[in-house]
Structure 1
């Protein structure tokens, strides 16, 4: 089995090291590099051709469509797992960035949850949402459709 090549992105060296430490418990995963800002992420993607980008959102800032477009040009099959997403931003990430390669959201950097997400994507799933992110999307959808539900009753 070909290893899943992973690029880790965060401004924080400590967070990069923590993510790398968690990934050492995942078989079939190869860390190909670390990036610390948007330009570095694109440059490392062009050089290393990762299969998966683990993007620490608090450490890299809000991921933009422009960044995802550049990543898509550099590596069309790149999948991106956003880590550290606040639940109130999950809906925006999901709607804006999924068409450009967002492949999952994790609200907190927890080893077990990160490994589950990576394994799930490694096994071919198209998307991974942690339970808190799933609940945030469901809640946003219910708020959006709530007034229509009352009119039909």
Structure 2
């Protein structure tokens, strides 16, 4: 199984996914670290990425999943995966990719974004990401996790969800 924690910037994907991977001893990938410099430069300037910008990046992420699938390793990834088409690319990496959509009202996420430091994604792009977001469809393997509760509760819920899927 490969678990992709998805959602808009500021939803806690990196934090929650990293903690889940650490608690369960699973390999972890932060999708942002796979972005080419050109993509990071655009986002840092407040310019939304195009699908052409995202395509090679998503393919690289699917390849990371595929490599771990070959090794028989379950994985955890933090990736926005805002559109179904992007999730479809990630699913080419392995037959068992499961999405955990970290979600809350935009106001909650915006407040969290204003409070954080050291991230290249400016809070001004949240509206663009929220407009782009296509929630999981009924035929997509995954679930929504409410991120409004305290961070520790969100992580605990995510660990329970991943553990349950791993146990089958």
What TM-score, normalized to structure 2? 0.41
Higher-RCO chain (CA-CA 8 Å, sequence separation at least 6): 2
What TM-score, normalized to structure 1? 0.45
Greater Cα radius of gyration, structure 1 or 2: 1
